[in-house]
Amino acid sequence: MNRNKIACHCHNVTYGQIIDAVRDGADTIEKVREKTHAGAGCAHCRDFIVHMIEDMKRFPEDYAQ
Ligand code: FES
């Protein structure tokens, strides 16, 4: 996982920022948006971020670093 890769281009939010937000308790797209602004623009990243949140819940070991 490249933490520096951009997940939301509208707000330059990285994978790492989303991972940190989810670890910090943001378990919905709305909470991730509040913490990072990801998804608050064109919303094209929204489905991907929803997938990422669900994937982190199911496979937390994949996001251990
Ligand atoms: S790419 Fe995330 S809101 Fe546009």
Torsion, Cα 9 26 20 60, to 10 degrees, reads: -110
Ranges of each domain in the chain: 6-63
Q: What is the enclosing helix (H) or strand (E) of 58?
A: helix 46-58
pTM of the model: 0.93
- pLDDT(60) > 70: yes
Output the CA 55–ligand 1 centroid distance in Å.
19
Of the pLDDT bands very low, low, confident and very high (cuts 50, 70, 90), residue 1 is confident
Amino acid at 46: R
Give the pLDDT score at 14: 98
Phi-psi region of 6 (alpha: psi -120 to 50; beta: other; left: phi over 0): beta
Spell out the CATH class of 6-63: mainly alpha
Indicate if the pLDDT at residue 65 is higher than 70: no
pLDDT at 23: 95
Pocket test for ligand 1, best of 45, 47, 48, 49 (most atoms within 8 A of CB): 45
Q: Give the position, in ligand 1's atom list, of the atom nearest the Cα of 13.
A: 2
37 Cα: distance to centroid of ligand 1 (angstroms): 9
14-47 pLDDT per residue, tens: 999 999 999 999 999 999 999 999 999 999 999 9
Element (H, E) at 32: helix 29-36
- C-alpha to C-alpha distance for 64 and 40, rounded to whole angstroms: 27
